[in-house]
Amino acid sequence: VFFEGNVTTIRMVKLALMQVFLCNHIVKVMSYVAFNPLSLPRMRKPLKPRQSILDVEAVAEPMRQTHASQLNQEFKWRKQNLQKIKRMINDNRQEICDALRQDLGKEPVEAWSTEAGPVSDEIDFVLKRLHAWMKPNKVSTPIHSAIGFSQTRKVPLLEPGVLVVGPSNYPILLTLGPAVGSIAAGNPTLIKPSEISSATAKLLHDLVSRYMDPSVLQVVQGGADETTQLLQQSWGKVCFTGSTHVGRLVAEATAQTLTPSILELGGKAPLYVDNAIYNLDIVADRLIFGKTLNTGQTCVAIDYVLIHKDVADKLLDLMVKAVEKQFGGGPESELGRMVQVSNAQRQVQMLQEVEQCNQTQILCGGSQECRPEERYIAPTIVLNPPLESRLMKEEIFGPVMAVRIVASREEAKQFIQNKMPKNPLALYIFTSSDECYEDFVRSIPAGCVCRNDAVVQFGNNQLPVGGIGTSGWGHHRGKYSFDSFSHERNEFHRSLLTDMGRLRYHPFHKAKIKATVVQFSIKHLIDIPVLHLRSRWWLWSAVLGGILGSSIFKRDLLNGIASVLERTAFLLRGL
């Protein structure tokens, strides 16, 4: 808002703006607003304050009460609430599919199998194993800490709990999915769904309010302002899924409160098709599936494809046929929709840019077949787009596949390493050669690697989901969610039966035996493999007997024991 005037009128304008924006908000200059300042005093009805201001403390208070009650440390609390989430999903299957249809144009089978279905499966997977995960893990204790017992225990994170900031492309899977792992680990959880998937966000808010207690799971709707407010609060952990740009902002915000975070970002996921490959018709179908799942709006979707020249012509023909088989009906096919009109317009702009290049070929689809106002983007295969084009510089995040032909494996590897953004979230390799696969895996850092298929690794509960470098950090899914949303606390219990002859206490210079044994402990015991009390009881007994004897027997006997220990150390070091 731009305004000029005297001091009195400026104060009045400022008051009016405060009523609209409630102070401390950055107002973007959208247009020049002209009005008669003399009309301001005659305003009788006060301007309504924004309804998006969030009371973070009120939201966090029931979560803190859960921590205070310590109920979240019990298996029963976690099991009952996970069962409630599953019942919430299964009872409202049709409503969930309808909301996903409205937001993303998803066909019902795809909607269930890529969103709510995996969450239900995740709950079953977790419930079968949760009791075992919660048990303390007993570990061995070194000799110098005898008699002692060591263990680690997974405990909930700090209050108020875990904040899950979800994306617009998988508004159910990537909000409730992390929440399942968080609650399994004993954390009250707050979900902030993307406001872009508005129908699903509203449904999620209504269902969680109906099925879940706010001390366990809550959903807060809103946009960037609400997310900013939530990130100003200290959390046990923040789990964010989204773009690299926003991920940097989230990382900066969480750093201010020293809140740990899980960032699942994106990047340009490469796929290489080697000449040592067979069944190219299956390869073509899998490539199209990996690119068009969820209309290409998947963080681990194939971004660009490098094809060895020996198989390029045949494979490209099969890929075009695969597009026709799977989505030949145009807008009437089962292909979903972009989540926003602006996202569809971006896809069209990238296509129009490369369509003007002489070296580029549009093998199928193209900007003319897209309907951005309807959020429909035709599945498109672009051959040899220029490296300086947006299609090769930006994450595509749509059903547009960029393809380039390479002369060798080494050229493909060098292309990924030197000409494309580094640290992709996923790396795909189609080859029957183990040597080729190992060469790529060792040379190219990536969050995950999939051989001879694409995207399907995301559906395995036994595998972690997470990036590396600019594609994110941290993991979630299955056991990895439980571990990520837990604090692994070490616990040590020491017996008061003996104090090892007070060997660790000062002064050390008064007794030669004391100095000898301490020197033995420092130099040699740390090199001995950690011994478990049950499996090496005889060795424990011998050592403890020698230590206890230091406070009972005569000095000459003690010197003899020290000499024996000194010699024994060299033998034990060879274990």
Cα→Cα distances 341→34, 171, 315, 348, 373, Å: 31, 17, 32, 11, 6
Give the pair of three-digit tokens for residue 199. 């129908």
DSSP 3-state of 363: strand
| Region at 213 (left for phi over 0; alpha for psi -120 to 50; beta for the rest) | beta
- Of 110, 264, 394, 488, which residue is the catalytic one? 264
| Region at 268 (left for phi over 0; alpha for psi -120 to 50; beta for the rest) | beta
Residues forming a β-bridge with 241: 264
SS (H, E, C) 287-314: HHHHHHHHHHCCCCCCCEEEEEHHHHHH
415 Cβ neighbours under 8 A, 6+ residues apart: 306, 404, 406
Q: Which of 227, 115, 89, 106 is nearest to 171 (CA)?
A: 115
DSSP 3-state of 195: coil
The reply to whether 264 belongs to the active site is yes
Look-up: residue for tokens 């020197």?
519
Look-up: residue for tokens 């983007």?
377
Give the pair of three-digit tokens for residue 109. 């089978």
40 Cβ neighbours under 8 A, 6+ residues apart: 9, 12, 13, 16
Q: Do residues 200 and 171 touch, judged by C-beta distance below 8 A? A: yes
- Sequence-ordered alpha helix ranges (H) in 419-511: 434-443, 479-484
State the angle between helix axes of 173-184 and 75-91 in degrees (0 to 180), rounded to the nearest 10.
Answer: 160
Query: Would you please indicate which residues are annotated as catalytic (active-site) residues?
Result: 264
